[in-house]
Amino acid sequence: MDEAADITPARAPVSASERADAELAAHARDGDEAAFEELFRRHRRRVALIASRFFRERHQIEEVVQESFTKAFLALGDFTNCRDASFAAWLARISFNACYDELRRQKRRPEGALEDVTEEEAAHLRERARGASDAEGRAVSRDLAAKLLARLGPEDRFVLVMLDAEGLSVAEIAGLLGWTASKVKVRAHRARAHLRRVLGKFL
């Protein structure tokens, strides 16, 4: 959640590190290789974590990281510290968009059938849905959650992760994707209904 604050447009006075980011970006834009490498070193972990919100496989995460930094480098001329909240926020926006593009690409070329949810996992889901006391201590496993979420379409999955995991507002998601706020709300409503239907099959 605290990481999500990076893309909040309104901002306090520019911190030293952000100012340094802006200076590094200016130098990198003018061809300073070391400046871009320093920006990469500072922000690679954040970009990789953004990618991991949507992808579990290492090659997928790395693909998003590479794509994000490549786009950022080639668009450094568009970056101005005044217009955007910070370099980190600007880069986060690029990264989220790269994730969205990658999710949509995956839809066009599926990587095979989804793994089935085992009976044991389904039983655990039922316990969690009931709020059974013996299941309180055991959260839904990440593997199971990933399998369930993989059944959603790219738009549904993207919106739900942005809302529930990244903690972004409807307006922020709309700004990221270039959608209207109404479209985000409708998509979120449908995505939640879709996920409930998916869960309903196991409850």
For the CB of residue 24, give the shortest distance to another protein in the complex, in Å.
14
Q: Which is nearer to another protein, 99 or 177 (CB)?
A: 99
- DSSP code per residue over 81-130: TTTSS-HHHHHHHHHHHHHHHHHHHHHHS--SPPPPPPHHHHHHHHHHHH
For the CB of residue 161, give the shortest distance to another protein in the complex, in Å.
5
For the CB of residue 13, give the shortest distance to another protein in the complex, in Å.
29
First CA to last CA distance, the chain: 30
Phi-psi region of 167 (alpha: psi -120 to 50; beta: other; left: phi over 0): left
Q: Which is nearer to another protein, 58 or 107 (CB)?
A: 58
For the CB of residue 121, give the shortest distance to another protein in the complex, in Å.
11
Residues that bind another protein (CB under 8 A): 37, 40-41, 44-45, 47-49, 51-58, 61-62, 65-67, 69-70, 73-74, 125-126, 128-131, 139-146, 148-149, 160-161, 164-166, 192-193, 195-197, 199-200, 203
Q: Which is nearer to another protein, 107 or 197 (CB)?
A: 197
Spell out the alpha helix ranges (H) of the chain: 16-29, 33-52, 58-74, 87-108, 119-130, 133-136, 142-149, 154-160, 170-177, 181-200
For the CB of residue 170, give the shortest distance to another protein in the complex, in Å.
16
d(C-alpha 95, C-alpha 68), whole Å:
5
Q: Which is nearer to another protein, 5 or 165 (CB)?
A: 165
For the CB of residue 165, give the shortest distance to another protein in the complex, in Å.
3
Amino acid residing at 168 = L
Q: Which is nearer to another protein, 14 or 52 (CB)?
A: 52
d(C-alpha 130, C-alpha 38), whole Å:
50
Q: Which is nearer to another protein, 52 or 97 (CB)?
A: 52
